[in-house]
Structure 1
Amino acid sequence: MRIALTTYSTKPRGGVVHTLALAEALAAAGAEVSVWTLGRGGDRAFFRPVDPRVDVRVVEFAARDGEDVGERIVRSIEVLHAGFDPAGYDVVHAQDCISANAVGRCVRTVHHLDTFTTPQLAACHERAIVEPFAHVCVSGAVARELADGWGISATVIPNGVDAARFARADPGRWRDRFGRYVVAVGGIEPRKGSLDLLRALALLREELPDVRLVIAGGETLFDHRDYRVRFDRLAGELGVDPVVLGVVDEEELPGLVAGAAAMGFLSTKEGFGLAAMEALAAGVPLVTRELPVLREVFDGAALFAAEPPGMAQAFRSAIGTPDPDRVVRGRELAARHTWTAAARTHLELYRRLTDTHPGGSR
């Protein structure tokens, strides 16, 4: 079976990480897999090496000065559409809004649902939901949102995680560098709940003043500069001096996560929580927001809270009186989520779809 997976970037965002891991697992299962993406800022390859069994196609996307977010996304769709060649694939599977708009008839994974007020972005989001002929969600909670909002029935296929990579990580140099710290992965942006994380850390530090906040990641298409100004202002007001690392090298990330006293995963919207699952694989206590999707995925393995005071209390419990049984449950949960299983279920879906829809997604 020949499969094209499409994504919007070469950078280490959750959907891109998912796309590459799934592609490699599908190739290991015997499929012929191509990954198509846009090469932003001169990129000609992904943020990490990709299994040579996967055919990587990077479509050049030149930077353009003065372009706002809506214009950049519309141009992203146009450039990927012009560069993508669907010929010969049994299945074209888009992993995000941009590539779903760009590649035509396809299967679509809806990782999470967004709310946009800009007409261009709202229209892009809507088309990427209603036009694909089949849908995958990485959690039941998001599948229920699709069913309730659009009457769409999606196949639920949870993410995998490279649990062994995080379980064997050496945290030493990061602990030497930062001491006791809470880690957050994904950058500073509204969807990641970064302001609530600051507020929670300020409350936590009233009792545990040595705990630092370390934030990794942050590559995104959206312009969060105003939010970052608010974040920096609030950090100063609260007396929290976060360490903002930006994008961390792929080889360094497991050690950074494993060295943390806890992970703060306080997203306001999520589809699964891959970074949080990686923390559990490393044996790191997880504090996450009280959301249906995160309760579905992490119940029994994480501490949940809805507001900063409760989040601070959860961090206090996780760091001050860690629960070894919860750590064991977290490691076991991560170990059950394999990319091999995810690839097998995807292949079963693809076979059903190609039997039902001759010609697949072309």
Structure 2
Amino acid sequence: MKIALLSYSTKPRGGVVHTLALAEALAEAGEDVTVWSLGRGGDSDFFRPVGAGVRVRIVPFPDGPAAETVGERVLRSIATLRDAFDPSPYDIVHAQDCISANAVDGRCIRTVHHLDQFTTPELAACHERAIVEPYAHICVSRSVADELAAGWGLKAEVIPNGVAHERFAATDPAARAAWRSRLGRYVLAVGGIEPRKGALDLLEAYALLRADHPGVRLVIAGGETLFDYRDYRARWETRAVELGVEPVVLGQVPEPDLPPLVAAAAAFAFPSTKEGFGLAAMEALAAGVPLVVRDLPVLREVFAPAARFATTPGSLATELSAALTAPDPARRAAGRSLAARHTWPTAAQRHLAFYRSCLGAGIPSHFGSL
């Protein structure tokens, strides 16, 4: 089977991590897989090496003019990928985000990782078309599939993410010690400073947490994004000064350094307001790190046996304090077991079964060439 997986970025966002891991697992299962993506900011490859069995096609996407809006960037992204992509060699075209789904005019299978509400008109239209136009849908959790059914009347196949369990479960002790030496005892969040990641709530929680744990630091890693969150980050920085706290903002962490950074954390905070699965949180469980997440239906679905749940900055601080002071071997064991069950080979086999069902129904052939 010739499969094209399409992404909008080469950076280490959750959907891109998913795309590469799925591509490698499909290739290891004997399939012919090509990953397509836009190469933003001069990128000519992904943030990490991709398995030798996977073909990679990076479409150059130079920076636009300084005055380019988010909406204009979205439209230019769609047009650039559309002009470069040829669907004819592929049996399956599988888009992982709204930009790549629009680039193939919806003639694809679409994984809906999570659902958003955008105010930028071009992005809102991109999001809507990428839901209603694809001929088949996959969701990484039942909660998102239920949202898709309730909002659009669409039925999606539910195929949870895998996780690179051993990569996070068996990290180098010296690398972990190096992070602890550099940062001390810390609560880690991965995903950057943006509204969907609940960064302001986490900041408020950290200020409360310091009353009982003055030596604990808040460390934030990651945050590469297509969107412009400068105003939100400015508010976050202003609020940090008002609260008298100084979180450590690492930005994008080199890929080999991420597992020991996660494993060395005293607790992992995941206060996202919108998620489809929570891959970074699952990686923390693989590393045996206590996990505190926002109390959302999707995160209850995915993490119920293994995480602590919070709804407000106050309860987030309370649960983080408990995670720091009250070892919970049963919850830790449940987390490791949960992460170990989510394998990429299993996810790949379920994707292949779904692809075959679509081909068997003749759905892709209904759409012809682009």
Q: What TM-score do you get using the length of structure 1 for normalisation?
A: 0.99
Q: Give the corresponding residue for 1:254.
A: 259
Partner residue of 2:292 out of 287, 290, 299: 287
The 3 A distance-change label for structure 1 pair 102 and 236 is same
Q: Give the corresponding residue for 2:344.
A: 339
SS of residue paired to 2:214:
coil
Equivalent AA in structure 2 for residue 76 of structure 1: S
Distance of 1:297 and 1:219 partners within structure 2: 24
Distance of 1:322 and 1:175 partners within structure 2: 19
Q: Give the corresponding residue for 1:51.
A: 51
SS of residue paired to 1:125:
helix
Distance of 2:364 and 2:237 partners within structure 1: 52
Equivalent AA in structure 1 for residue 138 of structure 2: V
Q: Give the corresponding residue for 1:136.
A: 138
Partner residue of 1:267 out of 240, 251, 272: 272
CA deviation map 1:229-253 (0-9, x unaligned):
0100111111110110000000000
- My pick for the range that moved more, 111-120 or 126-135, is 111-120
Q: Give the corresponding residue for 1:94.
A: 95
Distance of 1:255 and 1:27 partners within structure 2: 27
Structure 1 residue 121 displacement after superposition: 1.1
Q: Give the corresponding residue for 1:329.
A: 334
Structure 1 residue 88 displacement after superposition: 1.6
Distance of 2:158 and 2:189 partners within structure 1: 27
Q: Does residue 164 in structure 1 map to residue 166 in structure 2?
A: yes
Q: What TM-score do you get using the length of structure 2 for normalisation?
A: 0.97
CA RMSD of aligned residues (A): 0.8
User: Do the aligned residues in 1 keep the contact of 2:140 with 2:159 (CA within 8 Å)?
Assistant: yes
Q: Give the corresponding residue for 1:78.
A: 79
SS of residue paired to 1:251:
helix
Q: Give the corresponding residue for 1:312.
A: 317
Unaligned runs of 5+ in 2: none
Q: How many residues align?
A: 362
SS of residue paired to 2:34:
strand
Equivalent AA in structure 1 for residue 61 of structure 2: F
Q: What does 1:71-220 align with in structure 2 at a 5 Å threshold?
A: 71-104=72-105, 105-170=107-172, 171-220=176-225
Structure 1 residue 322 displacement after superposition: 1.9
Distance of 1:331 and 1:201 partners within structure 2: 26
In percent, how many aligned pairs have the same letter?
Answer: 67
Structure 1 residue 332 displacement after superposition: 0.2
Distance of 1:358 and 1:231 partners within structure 2: 47
User: Do the aligned residues in 1 keep the contact of 2:135 with 2:363 (CA within 8 Å)?
Assistant: no
Q: Give the corresponding residue for 2:242.
A: 237
Structure 1 residue 358 displacement after superposition: 5.5
Distance of 1:178 and 1:117 partners within structure 2: 38
Q: Give the corresponding residue for 2:10.
A: 10
Equivalent AA in structure 2 for residue 310 of structure 1: S
Q: Give the corresponding residue for 2:30.
A: 30
Distance of 1:200 and 1:169 partners within structure 2: 29
User: Do the aligned residues in 1 keep the contact of 2:108 with 2:364 (CA within 8 Å)?
Assistant: no
Distance of 1:309 and 1:116 partners within structure 2: 28
SS of residue paired to 2:255:
coil
Distance of 1:74 and 1:221 partners within structure 2: 12
Unaligned runs of 5+ in 1: none
SS of residue paired to 2:316:
helix
SS of residue paired to 2:256:
coil
Structure 1 residue 359 displacement after superposition: 4.5
Distance of 1:284 and 1:359 partners within structure 2: 43
CA deviation map 1:70-105 (0-9, x unaligned):
100010000000000101211000000000000130
Distance of 2:342 and 2:124 partners within structure 1: 33
User: Do the aligned residues in 1 keep the contact of 2:101 with 2:130 (CA within 8 Å)?
Assistant: yes
List structure 1 runs of 4+ shifted beyond 6 angstroms: none
Distance of 1:358 and 1:90 partners within structure 2: 11
Equivalent AA in structure 2 for residue 181 of structure 1: Y
Equivalent AA in structure 2 for residue 279 of structure 1: A
Equivalent AA in structure 2 for residue 121 of structure 1: L
